[in-house]
Amino acid sequence: MESEQLFSRGYYRNSYNSITSASSDEELLDGAGVVMDFTGSEDDNLLDGDVSSGANYTMTNGGGINSTTHLLDLLDEPIPGVGTYDDFHTIDWVREKCKDRERHRKITSRKKDSVWEFIKSLYDAWSGWLVVTLTGLASGALAGLIDIAADWMTDLKEGICLSALWFNHEQCCWGSSETTFEARNKCPQWKTWAELIIGQADGPGSYIMNYIMYILWALGFGFLAVSLVKVFAPYACGSGIPEIKTILSGFIIRGYLGKWTLLIKTVTLVLAVASGLSLGKEGPLVHVACCCGNIFSYLFPKYNKNEAKKREVLSAASAAGVSVAFGAPIGGVLFSLEEVSYYFPLKTLWRSFFAALVAAFILRSINPFGNSRLVLFYVEYHTPWYLFELIPFILLGVFGGLWGAFFIRANIAWCRRRKTTKFGKFPVLEVIIVTVITAVVAFPNQYTRKNTSELIKELFTDCGPLESSPLCDYQTDANVSKLLDDIPDRPAGQGVYDAIGKLALALIFKIIMTIFTFGIKVPSGLFIPSMAIGAIAGRIVGIAVEQMAYHHHDWFIFNQWCNVGADCVTPGLYAMVGAAACLGGVTRMTVSLVVIVFELTGGLEYIVPLMAAVMTSKWVGDAFGREGIYESHIRLNGYPFLDAKEEFTHTTLAADVMRPRRNEAPLSVLTQDDMTVEDLEVTINETTYNGFPVIVSKESQRLVGFALRRDITIALENARRKQEGIVSSSRVHFTQHAPTLPADSPRPLKLRSILDMSPFTVTDHTPMEIVVDIFRKLGLRQCLVTHNGNILGIITKKNILEHLEQLKQHVEPLAPPWHHNKERHPSSYGSNDRSRPRVDHVQLNTVLEDREEEVHLLKSTEI
């Protein structure tokens, strides 16, 4: 069929090689290592793209209420696929909001007609609260299940509880009457693998057997996780937050938030955490919560049929995900607002808060950690901080910023290299190698062997009378009562120094392995590894400051606030500040991060140290690059994401970016009443553009509106099938009234109903900084460029992303010196009214032959 041939090629095959160019699961799983590739992007299909296959495709454009095309005015029955989007396409925010206003207007006008209509209006009003409630319930329940299963399977690498196989190590020894305070984790019910296999609890043979079993269990968990991801749900790998940010900005990735992805991500997240890899479950929990929100939104037509409304639910779901990940409902709302959401109206704020509340309540009811807390490493400090301590807090912020900048560059370089080496073509082998290396190196060190969340808990915890950790092996004064809550500062014992050495080795291990682990093809979060690195550094600094205050309490920096026998310094507080600083350096979060960590500690007086460290971390990290790890992965994967945080400071104009450019084929346009059905079909068959500007005539070039290729094709097919008298020679008109035709002319075809009469337009002199702001704030896919009302060209989202990438790559002023004396926005037209090239302060890539590495990114870069 002709229409099938028209849609036989598409965006799915020609853009974003990180996902769509895969011909096998290995290639599909290897999406994280692709350099940005906008070639053939659907946003540019208006000019030179291809049309995707499938019944769900539609091309949308900006505009007012008239931009919502009403094919039903022309056709007697609804046409499947109209108003929906195909895979890897960008939604039209303006059109979706117009559809929602029209839907709400109809419901409001009918609710007084009958009781049933009134009930339907109530259901519509409450559906938003109902869907976020269901999302919160599911997110909390799944988070509790993941926490319990991950703890059990993590301890399974070391042994098993014979009295109750489903108990982890700690739960197994709770009811034992033979457990002592010094050896609280040893009880007859818990058996190590060496005891079960060779019958030895101690000695070299026992150590070697436990070592081997630890590696085998870790390898088994890692292999099973990557195999499930590869076979059943390739989208279940990674953190998910970069893709969530892109989806919330309006991009469509079918299946990324589906049922299979939810199921496999939940199962493999437990396996990945239990394998001991340097990753966390907090980031993937946001993906899990968004999957729940997406699935429940299909139960309500209000959200199922409107992609913009569905993204309001996803914003609330991301807040619920962080709420259960950290036990921080308010921090979850701020995380959704600050980090992931693209469109966040006030009602979404309320619903996000409610979803986070419900999710936290469910998780608290499950009590997965057995401590009546939402998180495993909840701590409370009783010692205030002092002004001098801001200096080491700020130094920790500097360390966090340096670590964040180093990690982003190293991880992105490794992910990019993964695509260019044979090693990157075998994701299963990569996971196996990383898992084996991690297990072999981690087992000898007690701080790398244990679960990362347990490590953070130990580093955060203050040394009290009931602590038996080596970090609390201080020289105790016999005259000090062990019942005191605040034990005074004491000299460190040998156990503390041994622990510092092991922590230093653990710090190096975590830094190296996190770089190579984040991005492999299993669910992998970054929050916990980053916090662990910062907590280790912070604890070491805290112990150093504590011992300095004890041994040199007469120094002027200490004698004013640290008396002999007083509890002056809390090393656990330094660990908490370091954790926040390192996480802030990697993600560049500020407000939401401070609130999350504040909710972890429950102490309001530690807000200032946290703010100082996080802001210092952000400033230091921004000095090396403004992009956080998630924005860097978005750009690496080539997703069409316009970051609202990025500033546009260049002086280019719309005429410099629009298509077509000089030496390119002219813009394909339609006339409002001069074309026949045959002319229209020839235009459709000979071009691959997804939309056509409609002008008055070839002579005037004055813009009338904008018509979508998909809508034109549907209209032509249905007109030939359902309207009598429509033949190839029938005149097509986009006007309200048919033109005057001879008496023997065939019946004309009116297509005004599919014409967008109010497309977004800018003039050729519009600065690009304004154009970029319009695209960001209105969520446009394209806008038309005019000069004195005449159509000149078009700017698509792809063109803007290409332009921004060019400006990043060309920062040297290559223009001749005389150019810098020109005014800021010179005219783009000469005396003959013909477009002339513009040379700006930043000369864009004019010699492609000298820059072969950019050919994959920029098809047409000559100005």
Q: Could you read off the pLDDT of 675-693 as tens digits, one per residue?
A: 888 888 888 888 878 788 9
Q: In angstroms, rounded to a whole number, what is the distance separating the alpha carbons of residues 276 and 15? A: 36
What residues contact residue 217 under an 8 Å CB cut-off, 6+ apart?
Answer: 156, 157
Q: Are strands 159-161 and 190-192 parallel, antiparallel or unpaired?
A: antiparallel
Q: Are strands 731-733 and 749-750 parallel, antiparallel or unpaired?
A: parallel
Percent of the chain past pLDDT 70, that is, above it, reads 79
Could you read off the pLDDT of 213-237 as tens digits, one per residue? Answer: 999 999 999 999 999 999 999 999 9
Question: Do 32 and 19 form a contact (C-beta atoms < 8 A)?
Answer: no
User: In angstroms, how far is CA 552 from the centroid of its own chain?
Assistant: 48
Q: What are residue 191's DSSP bridge partners?
A: 160
Task: Report angle CA 627, 631, 633 to the nearest 5 degrees.
Answer: 120
Nearest to 356 by CA among 109, 592, 5: 592
Residue 185: predicted pLDDT: 64
Residue 258 is which amino acid? G
858 φ, ψ to 5°? -120, 110
What tokens does 385 get?
């901080």
Q: In angstroms, rounded to a whole number, what is the distance separating the alpha carbons of residues 511 and 81? A: 49
Nearest to 292 by CA among 267, 312, 262, 331: 262
Q: In angstroms, rounded to a whole number, what is the distance separating the alpha carbons of residues 288 and 392? A: 37
What residues contact residue 156 under an 8 Å CB cut-off, 6+ apart?
Answer: 217, 274
Low-confidence residues of the chain: pLDDT under 50: 1-80, 480-485, 812-863
Q: What is the 3-state secondary structure (H, E, C) of 521-588?
A: CCECECHHHHHHHHHHHHHHHHHHHHHHHHHCCCCCCCCCCCCCCCCCCCHHHHHHHHHHHHHHHHHC
Question: Do 292 and 142 form a contact (C-beta atoms < 8 A)?
Answer: yes
